[in-house]
């Protein structure tokens, strides 16, 4: 939720009260992205979507697994040999 909110500048799920919010979290799909002036890479959107997955088996199984996916995302391309 924090990753989505940081990137999208809004909470992924909204409700008028606790019960409405809970229902949207439990039954709603991953919210839509707002395309702002900064282009968010699709790979980062995919990581965030996986974090918000309803089914636990579809989410990262550990913080280490999530961290590795984020590290892989920011790895610089291999330098070409001269």
Residues 11-23: pLDDT tens digits? 888 889 999 989 8
Contact 21, 14 (CB under 8 A): yes
What pLDDT is attached to residue 36?
67
What pLDDT is attached to residue 59?
92
Which tens digit of pLDDT belongs to each residue from 26-79? 887 777 777 766 788 889 999 999 998 888 899 999 999 999 999 999 887 664
> Tokens at residue 36, please?
């702002």
Whether the pLDDT of residue 82 is over 60: the answer is no
Q: Which of 32, 36, 31, 33 is nearest to 21 (CA)?
A: 31
Stated pTM of the model: 0.74
Count of alpha carbons within 13 angstroms of residue 20, beta-carbon side: 4
């Amino acid at each position: 939720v924090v990753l989505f909110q940081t990137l999208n500048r809004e909470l992924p799920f909204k409700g008028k009260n606790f019960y409405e919010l809970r229902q949207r979290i439990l039954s709603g799909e991953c919210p839509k992205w707002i395309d702002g002036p900064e282009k968010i890479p699709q790979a980062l959107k995919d990581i965030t979507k996986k974090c918000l997955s309803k089914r636990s088996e579809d989410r990262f199984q550990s913080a280490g697994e999530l961290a590795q996916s984020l590290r892989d995302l920011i790895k610089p391309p291999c330098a070409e040999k001269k």
